Structure 1
């Protein structure tokens, strides 16, 4: 950077390559430009969008460098795959978490992410597959070792003991340990629609006490059942077509969720029951079904085997 000229709140910056750029700045930003050590540093101050673009590019380059060290993931044509789990591409946020777990030699995290992506790959909505891990990370939601995640919602008490209902319609009978389901075809799958048709689950860092209900519940959700993940940084509620209420939760003095104080966020027996019933049950004896879509390069039988392996892991871990 060769010279900086400021008139009122407009600034002209002459760069070392002979070009110049102009923009509008505050006095504080002007002082930062004057004290900047390079053209690139000055451009980042003058043009926030340029700064974001550079940061995004650097993040991608950092991830690519990490991926070169991965023994689990493969990158092809700027797309990331976990071949031993699914033929579908992995979102970059999840890929970074997997590589970090590899570098830390954290087998528990690797197993957790493998189970999560196994189930996530059964979700027919590409945008859900892309956005869910980002959403869970953004709102402090736990992914259990079985691959399900823990979410929160409020419900209303009813006159019937240990039975709750939804605040909006008062039509659902909600009991701890029993799946709550809704026809996926009747749910609104438009990601940008925030409060719409479907079963609502809130993030730990977003849900508040008495928001659409007088009782808080911790719930388990299969990633395959998520129907919409609003892609906004300030809206921590998603929609699903099924969830499993696990326990009543409490709120602190600020009306914030007190997370469920259980190892891995749940009792594994719940997951074992859900996966076994969902995979092996019939329409007559099970209200919940895990729908297995056609995926390139795999078979229904191989996916069923993977799901049953997850259930068996839960049984082993429960006995330890």
Structure 2
């Protein structure tokens, strides 16, 4: 179908064809399609140009072709309510998202990981009543192997004594399945105080080097809404929280981006390299376009070149 698309029409003599009820013009410089009475134009050197031409040739429906020509809109639809990609960056409820979280979202899309956990994470994060706590948490999440879980929490590491009690008081049980909580007001919110009141968890590097040789390292799940502070010492590798759940023994580094939600059992670690997202409401060509667009945005962020 659409043999007029190949070879390319010249700029002087553009070809116009009809795909169902859709009119389109393909030239050496651009592709223009009129969909729902609105003209959409895409340059031929755009990464999606080939996908658009192939979609037209297959006779794909107009809605999918329109999304291919407006990938930021498609990315926003892919992310769901309250999260959108605008002007090359991620926004939540109209406000730009911190670069650390933006990178995670774009990384998820680039690798075709399910994005719903990250949108849930954002909702949980913005349920944290303290702007300072949210800002400090970004610093902690810059460390690797702190994956987001399906329910929008994140996993971290905690060093405990050989009998599973905490190092400081020896009173709190940290066996798998334990849920520990205190009043938020009882947690020190000053990041300039290193060791202070509150439950602590850390990065992989911090937890595996803290405590004596008989220490145990546990995997803990934390709701970002419960995080109170991230001390400035130790390169922001530990945090204080009002609540956490012990979900597993440490047996090796967690995935960098995503891990299945635990349910107080010793589940296997989710293999993010083999995940196939079933959440996408769009076809493969659009998923490809979204992944490619997310990769380009991710590579354009500072420190990713």
TM-score, normalising length: structure 1:
0.50
Partner of residue 26, structure 2: none
Q: Gaps spanning 5+ residues in structure 1: where?
A: 1-65, 159-163, 251-257, 272-312, 314-320
Residue 119 of structure 1: how far off its partner (Å): 0.9
Distance across 2 between alignment mates of 1:208 and 1:268 = 21
Secondary structure at 1:94 match in 2 = helix
Q: Check 1:193–1:70 CA distance in 2 against 1; reply closer, same or farther (3 A cut).
A: farther
Is 1:259 equivalent to 2:259 in the alignment? no
| Bigger RCO of structures 1 and 2 (CA < 8 A, at least 6 apart) | 2
Structure holding more helix per residue = 1
Distance across 2 between alignment mates of 1:217 and 1:266 = 16
Structure 1 residues 134-158: Cα deviation after superposition (integer angstroms, max 9, x where no partner): 4223243111222111111111234
Is 1:82 equivalent to 2:87 in the alignment? no
Residue 219 of structure 1: how far off its partner (Å): 0.8
Structure 1 residues 45-87: Cα deviation after superposition (integer angstroms, max 9, x where no partner): xxxxxxxxxxxxxxxxxxxxx98995342669xx96322xxx7
Report runs of 4+ in structure 1 exceeding 6 Å deviation.
66-69
Partner of residue 106, structure 1: 112
Distance across 1 between alignment mates of 2:183 and 2:201 = 16
Q: Check 1:232–1:184 CA distance in 2 against 1; reply closer, same or farther (3 A cut).
A: same
Answer whether contact 1:140 1:205 (CA < 8 A) is retained. Answer: no
The alignment of Structure 1 onto Structure 2 pairs a total of residues equal to: 188
Partner of residue 13, structure 2: none
Q: Check 1:146–1:260 CA distance in 2 against 1; reply closer, same or farther (3 A cut).
A: same
Secondary structure at 2:206 match in 1 = coil
Q: Pairwise mapping of residues 276-291 of structure 1 onto structure 2 (< 5 A)?
A: none
TM-score, normalising length: structure 2:
0.52
Answer whether contact 1:123 1:225 (CA < 8 A) is retained. Answer: yes
Distance across 2 between alignment mates of 1:259 and 1:155 = 17
Q: Pairwise mapping of residues 166-185 of structure 1 onto structure 2 (< 5 A)?
A: 166-185=166-185
Q: Check 1:196–1:89 CA distance in 2 against 1; reply closer, same or farther (3 A cut).
A: farther
Partner of residue 190, structure 2: 190
Partner of residue 93, structure 1: 100
Distance across 1 between alignment mates of 2:234 and 2:160 = 25
Structure 1 residues 248-276: Cα deviation after superposition (integer angstroms, max 9, x where no partner): 224xxxxxxx2258x954554349xxxxx
Partner of residue 123, structure 1: 128
